[in-house]
Each structure stands twice: as C-alpha cells, then as structure tokens.
Chain A
Amino acid sequence: MHKQAKQYFLLGAVTFALAACSQGVDTDQQGTGEGTIELAEFPDRPYWGDTHLHTDNSIDAFGFGVRLGPEEALMFASGQEATATTGMRAKLARPLDFLVISDHSDGLGATRRLYDAPRLGVVAMGDETMLRWYDMMHESPEQSQRAIGELITAAANGTLPEAMTSNPEEQDAATAEIWGAHLKMLDRYNKPGKFTAFAGFEYSLMPDGNNLHRVVMFRDGLNRTGQVLPYPGINSDVEGLWDYMLAYEQVTGGQVLAIPHNSNLSNGLMFELTMPGGGPITAEYARKRAAAEPVVEVTQIKGDSEAHPFLSPNDEMAGFGVKGWELGNLPLTRETTNDMLAGNYIREALKRGLSLEEQLGVNPYAFGMIGSTDSHTSLATGDEDNFYGKHTGNEPSYQDRALQGQNLGTRIGRFGWHYLAGGYAAAWARGNTRAEIFDAFQRREVYATTGPRMTVRLFGGFDFSEADWDGDWVRAGYTRGVPMGGELEDRGNAPTFLISALKDPDGANLDRVQVVKGWVDSSGELQERVYDVSWSDMDKRSRVGGKVPAVGDTVDRATATYTNDIGAAELRTAWTDPDYVEGQRAFYYVRVIEIPTPRWTLFDAVRFGIKLPEDPMADAVAQERAYSSPIWLKPAPPAITEQQ
C-alpha cells in the first residue's frame, strides 16, 4: 500500500517537473491554451458563452442584411462596443467568456471556386500586390480597372496562369482563403484566462425543410484546424459529418464535437427511434452519435426544445418557448403532427436513450444541455432587455418587429413575438481556455439558460445529506459524487443529489428548483416525473393538492419592470429520490425557474409605445429558466462469474 502511494507521489513529482520545464517556452503550439494559465483545483465558476453565432460569412445572415463580420462579433462578445448594422451602438454590460462563431459551412470556402481565387493573392500578395496595383493605377485608370477585372474573372473561372498554381505548398495555403483567414483571426482574439474564441461552423442538413442542423466546435488552434475545411451540409448525411470529425481527430490529434440544435423544428427526425430513413438503430450508429454529440442546444431564439405539454401533460411548466414553433418544420413547408413531437423534444429523447441503451448497450441520446443564441446579427445578445433580433431584418431599429411576420412561415401563424431573446451556455471549468471549456462540454459539465446567468450546481452520490452544506460541499461533491453530466452506478440504494441554484446577481430572484426524472419502469415503459425540490418561502408556500402554489407576479405591464420582493436569492437542497427502484435506468436533471419577468416584447412595447394585441400580450411575461445536464443512474454491470 505504502509502496504504491510512494510511486504515485513520484509519478506526480515527475509530471510536475515536466510541466514546470515546459513553462516559459511556447507551450501552446496547438492553440488549446493548455499550460498557459493557472487552473483551479475543481471547476470553481461557470464560464458563459454563446456557441451559435452567425456573421456576414453566413449567406443567409448576409441576405438578411448583416454587415458585421466575425471580427466585430468577437469584439462585441468580449465586451467592446460595436455599431449594429442598422446603426445602433451596442455594448454588452457583461461580456461573455467564450464564443463559437458558427457560420454555415456551405459557402464558408466549401466550394471549389472559393479555393481557386486566392492563388493569385498567395503568390503575389501583400506589398507586392499593392505595388503592382500602384503601378497599374499610375499607368491609366482604365488600364488598372481592366487589370483588376481580368484578375477577378480569371480567378473566378479557374484560368489563372499555371505558374501561379504549381507550388503545392502555396496551393495548400490557397485552399484556406476565407476559412484560413478566419482561423488566424480567431487565434489572435483567443486570450487564455480572459476570452476564448473557438473555431467552428454550422453543418446545415435540412432534408425537406426538417431541421437537422449541428454546430461543430473545435478544441484546437490553427496548427490543427488549418488542416481541414468545414464539412458541407449540402448533399451529405450526418454519418458523413461524424466520419469527418473522426478523421480530423485521428489525423491531427485534435478534438472536435457537434451540437444538434432546433430539434423542435425537425418534424420528429432529430431523435428518432430508427435509423435515418428507417430500420432499427444499430449499435454502431448509436456509438458514433454518442461519441460525436455529447451536448445538445436546448434553447435559443427559434424556440425552446426541452419539453412539450403534449408529451408532458403533468408538467405545468412545460411549454416555455413552444408557441409558434410547434406548428411545423423550419421553413414551415410541412406541419408538425403530434406523433412527431417525441422526436423533437429533448426530455423525450433522453428517455428514448434509456430504452435504446437497454437494447443496444449504448445510449445515442445521453447528452448534456446548453443554450445559445443562433443570432444572425453578429451580436451575441441573450437577455430580454437587449434583444438585437434574430437577424438584421428585426434589429430594434424596426420598432414593430414583435408584430411583423417572420420569414419562417407567418402565413400559418409564426410572428416576430414568437422569437425568444436567446439563451447562453454555461460551462463548469477550471479556467478560461479552449481546452478547459471544450473538455467541460465533452464531459457534459455544462448547462443551459434562457438568458439569465444563474449559477447551478448539481452533484449526485449515495452518501450526501443536508449536513454537507455546512462544510466544503463543492469538494464533497467532486470527491464523493459526480457533477452534472456524470454517471452513477446503481448500488441498491436511492441516490441523493446536492443541488444549489444562485440567482443571476444582476437579474431576477428564483421561484423554485425542480428535478426532472426519466426512467424505464419494470414493464419497459418510459416514465417521467417533475419534482419540486426547493422553492422560495417554503414555510409560507406549502403544497396545495400536491402542487407548490405560484410564486406571484410583480411585473408592471405599463413600465416593463419587476421587483425582487418575491422569490429567493439562492435555493439549495440535498434531495433523495423517493421513487427509486433498484435496477431501473434513470436520468435526473435540474430545472431552475425564475420569478416572472418581462419578455423582450414587453420591453419593446414600452420603449417604442406599441400596443401589443391580446396573444403577444399574454405571452409578454415569462418565467425564465436554467436546465442542467442530467446525471444518469445505470444498473451495475452483471458480476463476472468465472466459468469452469
């Protein structure tokens, strides 16, 4: 025993010495931020970010009119002032900690013509190019215009002189163009310890208008990301994307993950019980999916995908951000019918995952949850009082934007007011670097909010109790249990969860904390239940007919203001599952509910003096929320019996 401990100690010392040696020299050649900053012992705070932002590099965003690019997006997210396309000046009161710019891969240098053009630039670039332009300029204006025109035409037609294309290294560099310039810029803005800029893109697969989009996010810097191009969404299937990701990891030694989003607009295709196109899901498909997609985006401007009242009739708080979006797929070319909803909503997918795991031995839908914006304005705004619009066509300069139609199917009933203000992703990490935050995503130690920045902790274990709150409970959580995103192995007794939710320090108080449990019962049926586990003024708000009474509503509709006279600053509990049955697969996640606050539509109505009609007015106040990633309870593996 002692000997072993000594070996560990020695090993530790060697590792430490190695780490010390590598300080000082450039330790961050891969751009992951490893070894650049001092890390906390345990993840000590959530880092806030948006993993889903479009800039003028996205053709649709550009088509809607945005004229701000990735650089402005990074400056804005990290706290600098920007001027929105429609002219308003904007600055985040609280800057973000990280950002994934996720422009659509189609058009991000993913077509041939876009690779061809810059050869001339790479060969005759920089000062030389400028010198040549200068010479031509002084010959005659007509001459210069013709020269430039010819160059562009030649580039566009792929008929550049052979000399310009002969050097393979230069050709490689040329392949980069927009993507390459973008990656270099990201590396310049990535500041370990201060602000993390991830490379990424959106893979926009959309069969028949059914949304199967993913955001792809890289852990690495230019050294590795520069070796690949974004994977195109057109003419592809999702297994092709996973193969692409695997190849990236194998060849470069880097890491990459994909985040599905807007399952609410997939008409049942995002979380199917079958393979895409039919037939039973194979274990191989499930394994690939689980490996590539550890996290899903549960909430964003185009609605919330946590739960639907049709699927969860006993959950009176289901249905946030469902209105309008439940009508059909993304462009509303096909209606959504009730039988499709189970493939659209995440709680149901988590349940389906349990039963698929029972059949296949692997769970394709064991994911964590995050929120993001999906803003197409280059501005990562997620709060109700700073909604900059889904796209430039509904920035706040368009004062009646809440009542205007959308591009996505207004005739059938989607309006501006159906947009949510957007969500954010919170990552529990030991420091603000690409590696630390990416790894938090990979181990699902992340959570979603619909915009407010509440601090949510969740630990699961078998020996927690209320007494843990008196000591260093975070250390207890990490050493005697697992954090959100983790797995517990069934030991024959009920799990206990340490749950803490601290309000957004600049936001609204908390109404309640709930645990959502999903499980497979003894007859193989999927079940769910929502437990109220802690709420404000518990002594005065005792349950009536098994339900916790509503917290109240302080929102003044005439001024779009509220007070924190109701609700609590923090809610905590050590909660033990009262309905535990040995051997049943289950997941548990936490939903934190704020007191009612004005939505962006009410802020707009007050600011711009607009009278909201009945429907949007009824929807102008909401209870914002956070969703933790689940903790899974798995049956213990069968004891290995020796065979004679």
Chain B
Amino acid sequence: MTLPNWAREPLVHFLVVGIVIFALLAWRGGDVDPASRTIEVDREQQAQIALVFERTMKRAPTDAELDTQIERYIRDEVLYREALRLGLDQGDAVVRQRMAQKMDILASSQAETVQPSEETLRAHYDANPQAFASDVRYTLDQLWFEDRKGAERALTYVETADDAFQLGQSISLPPSVDAMTSKELADRFGIQFTQNLDGLEPGENWQGPVGSGLGWHLVRLRVRDASKVPPFENVRSDVEDHWRTQTIARRKEEAFQLLRDSYKVTVKK
C-alpha cells in the first residue's frame, strides 16, 4: 500500500501536529493561570544569566551578547513551561535520571568538602589495608632472543661470558629494570612475560628461556619485592581519597534508604 501524495507533504504533517497540540492544550491546559504565562526577566535573573556567561567565557558579556543570552533564556523558558504543561517531563528517562542524580549530589555534597580527622583516616586505613598495598616490584636483567634455540644455546655459556649483555639480540627493550612494578613490566614486556616470571626464584644466576609475546629471554631476576602495605604517613592522601569515595557512596546509599523506607513497593510477579 502506498500513501497518497498529499500525505507526504510537510505542510500536512505540520498541520496535523498543530491540531494534535491544540487538542491537547484544549483538554489539559483549560484553566491556565495567567501568571504562568508571564515571564519576567528581572534584574536578578539577568545577573544570573550574565554570571553563567562569565563563568564560561571568563569575561562579562557585551550588551549584545547579554541580549542574545536573554532571548535564548526566554525561548527556553517558554518551551520549558509549555513542555511541562504538556506533561513532557513525565516518563522521560533523561529527566528522571537528571533528577535522581541531583538527589544523589544533595546527599553526598558535604562529603566532598569535609575534612576528616586524623583518627577517622587512621581507622579507615586500618580497616582497608589491601586498598593501599603496593604493586609487586621486579629488579632484573634480561637478554632477548628471537627463537628459543638461540636462548638455550646462550644459556650454556652466559655465566662465563665477559659481558653477558653482548649475548642477546638487539631489540628496543631495557636490558635492566630497577624496582619496576608488575603493571609497568607487563606494559613493556607483555603479560605473558610477567606471568612466566612467577616460576622463577630470585637469585644472581641467569635463568630461562622465559617466553614472552616478543620471543625468548634469559633472565637474571635479582629481586622480586612482594606487595606490602606502606606506613600510613606515606599514603595519607590516598587514604583520604579512598575514604571520601567510600563515604560519598555510603551517604548516597543511606539517603536513598531513608527515602526508600517511606515507600511501599510491590513488584507484581
């Protein structure tokens, strides 16, 4: 079935939409309070509009710019009020989300700025030591080989070589790393290499071949520094950030529970 030509005319669409809106208004907007159709942009409101401009552009608006901003404000206000009258705010997922977000911000805004006491922070540190634990760190030397055989051959004479570092093939990898975290080691040498180091005992001897996504390595794993929790003084600001993050989450949840408790909710099965 095809639509007749007139049904495709934009003018017809416009008229139809207009009639629908008119009908809606006639039905819902019958007893409009005349005050609600009055928009007064008083000096205070103008100052507010100017302030927003200034906050964005870091300078006061010119007269022409302020006029434009006020016009925009009036346009938004008219459309906003009419939208409310039509009930367009109802059931709008974005409006719902924004309102809910505002409630969350209300509940947690104080936690953003309050200065926690030393005791509070120490207690938080004692309760969550693992949150502040350092990464495992590695100190090692390594030689790279394109294939496994080359690495195995070099292993037979690496301990007696004058300069072990001359034995590996050339590649853009650091021959030695000093107290490098497992994250950075994985960034440089790949996850496979870092995982394969788990099988090695630290010592002064060359071991391997250790496989990686890049090829094969002989490794002198000098130190593997296990993860530990640093003293409070060294991580104080981390503790504060962590405390604040958790406190904000808790306040949002508490505020929500307060409100939630006053609702009777049934979910039909």
- A residues lining the B interface (CB < 8 Å): 45, 48, 56, 59, 62-63, 71, 79, 93-95, 97, 111-115, 117-118, 120-122, 125-127, 129-130, 133-134, 137, 141, 144-145, 148, 152, 155, 158, 171, 175, 177-178, 181, 184-185, 188-189, 191, 227-232, 235, 243-244, 247-248, 250-252, 453, 455, 457, 469, 500, 502-507, 564, 569-570, 572
Contact = CB atoms under 8 A, between A and B. Distances in A.
11 contacts: A79-B183, A118-B102, A129-B107, A130-B254, A137-B259, A171-B51, A175-B51, A188-B245, A244-B57, A252-B58, A505-B213
Given A130-B255, A181-B112, A505-B212, A145 B187 contact: no
B104 to A, nearest CB: 9
A529 B139 CA distance: 45
Given A228-B55, A505-B190, 6 more contacts: A114-B98, A118-B102, A130-B254, A188-B241, A229-B52, A505-B193
Interface stretch (B117-125, B167-175, B223-231): B167-175
Interface string B181-195: 001101111111100
Given A45-B187, A235-B72, A134 B110 contact: no
B255 A231 contact: no
A570 B172 contact: yes
Interface string B45-67: 10011011001111100000000
Contact of A111 (B76, B110, B184, B187): B76
B76 A506 contact: no
In this complex, the interface size class of chain B, counting residues with CB under 8 Å from chain A, is 35 or more
Across chains A and B, which 3 residue pairs bring their CB atoms closest together, nearest first? A126-B110, A505-B190, A247-B58
Interface in B125-184: 146, 170-173, 183-184
B111 interface: yes
A407 B45 CA distance: 40
B11 interface: no
Nearest to B55: A229
B204 interface: no
Nearest to A193: B181
Contact of A126 (B97, B111, B183, B213): B111
Contact of B110 (A120, A125, A148, A158): A125
B209 to A, nearest CB: 15
Interface in B51-94: 51-52, 55-59, 72-73, 76, 80, 93-94
Given A152-B99, A243-B57, A502-B172, A126 B212 contact: no
B262 interface: yes
B235 to A, nearest CB: 11
Contact of A231 (B56, B73, B106): B56
A43 to B, nearest CB: 13
Interface string B235-260: 00010010011000001001100110
Contacts of B241: 188-189
A569 B56 contact: no
Nearest to A171: B51
B264 to A, nearest CB: 8
Contact of B258 (A127, A130, A235): A130
A181 B109 contact: yes
B31 interface: no
B244 A188 contact: yes
Contact of A141 (B93, B101, B110, B262): B262
B215 A569 contact: yes
A115 B45 CA distance: 13
A45 B190 CA distance: 14
A378 B231 CA distance: 34
Nearest to A110: B56
A146 to B, nearest CB: 11
A200 B199 CA distance: 43
Residue with the greatest number of chain A CB neighbours at <10 A, chosen from B109, B146, B173: B109
A179 B31 CA distance: 39
A242 to B, nearest CB: 12
B265 interface: no
A126 B109 contact: yes
B197 interface: no
A177 B105 contact: yes
Residue with the greatest number of chain B CB neighbours at <10 A, chosen from A129, A227, A231, A252: A129
A506 B192 contact: yes
B214 interface: yes
A121 B59 contact: no
